[in-house]
Amino acid sequence: MAKRTEAELRANVCDENSCWTEGTIADSGVTANLKGSWHILTLDRHFQGCDAQRLGNIADGVAVYPNENNKRLRVLELKPKVDDYPDAAKKLHKTIPLLRKRLPHGFRGLRVDLELHVKEMPVLTTKLRKVIENEDVQYGVRAYCDGEQV
Amino acid sequence: MRVHLHNIGPIRDADIMLTPLTVLVGPNGTGKTTFTTVAYAAMQAHRVAMVDALEQLEGFDPGGTRRKRGPAMARDVIDQWEESFAERLEFQLRRCCNPDLEKLGRAKRGGQNAAPRIEIATDQWSLVFRLEGNELYLETDHRCYRPPRFELSRGTSLPTARAQVRKVLALSMPKRGVYFPAGRSALVQTHSAMTALMAGAISGGYFENATIGEIPGTVADFMQMMARIKANRRSRVRAGKLAKRIESELLHGDVRLHERGGQKSFRFRPEGQKGEWALENIATSIGEVSPLVLYLRHWAWPRDAILIDEPESHLHPEAQAPLAGALMDLSETISPTLVATHSELLVSALSAELLDRTRARKKGAVPPKLSVHEFKFHDEDRSYGVDVAEIEVEPTRGFQVRRFAEVADEVFESGIDAYNRLHGSD
């Protein structure tokens, strides 16, 4: 499943090695460590430079794990702190239909996780759990700092 | 003070050193209340044992003309204290935990033989008690048994000797435990009726038939405290400011104590209103928190230890954040506090308070002392019992109780799944 998804992303979004990274993704001082060899398509960078169709307000990356049993599709947005969630939510919200259209099978069979990766550990330890809805489907959003859910 | 329970109630092993604020978390039935109750029983037992030890000391003869003097007297004091401690602990365990000690100790655990033990320790001594059948024994041959050590020489005056005994026996032990049981609001709300029932039962001569004797000791002591609180009796510690803060931030009103012609009533006046309401006729949350306010105003002593079962019950989440601040204040400025809770929000707010207070301290100052312990059933076999693990508390990073997050994640996930199934998406 994951290999197919990666192939579809490469075929329908970008196959340039410069737009792909492994394990970690960094943007404006924030680094997201996905803990493992996740293959990450740096969406925002791609749409800002590589793709002729310039798109703004897109999530920073989308990650798949190169293992057939792994059905997760992680959509990543990097922000300095959890309080930046409203801005991150807009980007994640815009990214969902874009990805669904680019994947020939849509999200069928995939588990889509929306993730906000932050630099600063929040003061309150109650974890961020939000829902973003698109076309009558709900997607859960969680936040991470240093690879740990916060 | 350290309390180590081994095969007591659902607990297989719990070794907890009480810090200024000790927080116990864990699912229902994992023994948090059992642990708290045993700690309370030990505090009550120690209080009486101290009195007995000091009474024994009255026989101390500094001149050395009588037979008993010096080391022999010290030994007598220690013996008396240990004997008294064991006797009172057994009594308190029967009162507060279970009249049948055989049911409190678990002689079998996961099909294996087990030895139920209670260890109470300070820096100066460590007493180990064994539960065997329906009896409690002091185990002097256990490797953890460490009797207190002090010497009373011939030239020592009685006040000096008394101070020495107190220092060794009572150091890092609370002088008195004050227990706030779960379901306080029900007790407060039925307080007047219960008092009338008790009075009626006594005067009617049928007290023996009333089931009042079956109230657990912790609840009875709490009710006794509420009954003995008097308007003109003031606390011996400066706790008025904290009581006021709890009233304004948590209760949004004042708790009042009225006494007219020997009749006492607890009343509440909501903020900005003129009228007053009896506690039994007002929100449950007021009944839950008001005993703490009344304790702070009228009952607090120096070196009390406060034990609160479920401080968050009946409180809306918006009240739990100020409750965390109040608990931190209570533990830092008034008395060591032991709290058993199920609230993720309270725990999270405590972590935030810890970070805030660490930040507010001057560089190099000691951060607030707080420890968190998680009670957990054995992963594969519940009959194996409950083990307790200390959660890492870092003053600059806070702490997390993972199980709370896991449960919340599961609920979050199932909510999304249910929604998506309902709307036909896969």
| Contact in structure between B10 and B29 (CB atoms under 8 Å) | yes
Residue A90's pLDDT band, with cuts at 50, 70 and 90, is: very high
d(CA B139, CA B131): 10
Q: How far is A150 from chain B (nearest CA, A)?
A: 9
| Rg value, chain B, Cα | 24
Burial of B348: CB neighbours in 10 Å, binned 0-12, 13-18, 19+: buried
In tens, the pLDDT along B350-401 reads 998 998 899 888 887 888 899 999 999 988 788 889 999 999 998 888 888 8
Q: What pTM, to 2 d.p., does this model score?
A: 0.83
Compute CA distances A56 → A60, B45, B164, B277, whole Å. Answer: 10, 70, 76, 60
**pLDDT top residue among B115 and A51:** B115
Compute CA distances B413 → A72, A111, A139, whole Å. Answer: 14, 11, 9
* ipTM here: 0.79
Structural domain spans, chain B: 2-173, 177-360
Name the nearest CA neighbour of B250 among B224, B235, B268.
B268
Cβ distance of B351 and A131 shorter than 8 Å: no
Q: Which of residues 346-385 of B touch A (CB under 8 A)?
A: 347-349, 351-352, 355-356
Say what the pLDDT of residue A93 is: 96
Burial of B187: CB neighbours in 10 Å, binned 0-12, 13-18, 19+: buried
Instruction: Report the CATH number of the B177-360 domain.
Output: 3.40.50
Q: How far is A146 from chain B (nearest CA, A)?
A: 13
Compute CA distances B371 → A34, B120, B347, B403, whole Å. Answer: 31, 18, 11, 17
Chain B, nearest residue to A109 by Cα: B426
Beta-bridge mates of residue A112: A73
Beta-bridge mates of residue B200: none
Strands A111-118 and B337-341: unpaired
Chain B, nearest residue to A130 by Cα: B412
Q: A-B interface: how many C-beta pairs under 8 angstroms? A: 46
Parts of chain B with a pLDDT under 70 = 59-70, 192, 195-213, 425-426
Where would I find the beta strands (DSSP E) of B342-382?
A: 370-377
A17-31: average pLDDT: 91
Which residues of chain B lie closer than 8 angstroms to A121, CB-CB?
397-398
Residues 6+ apart with CB under 8 A from B196: none
A52's tokens: 């002729």
Cβ distance of B416 and A109 shorter than 8 Å: no
Q: Which amino acid is at A69?
A: N
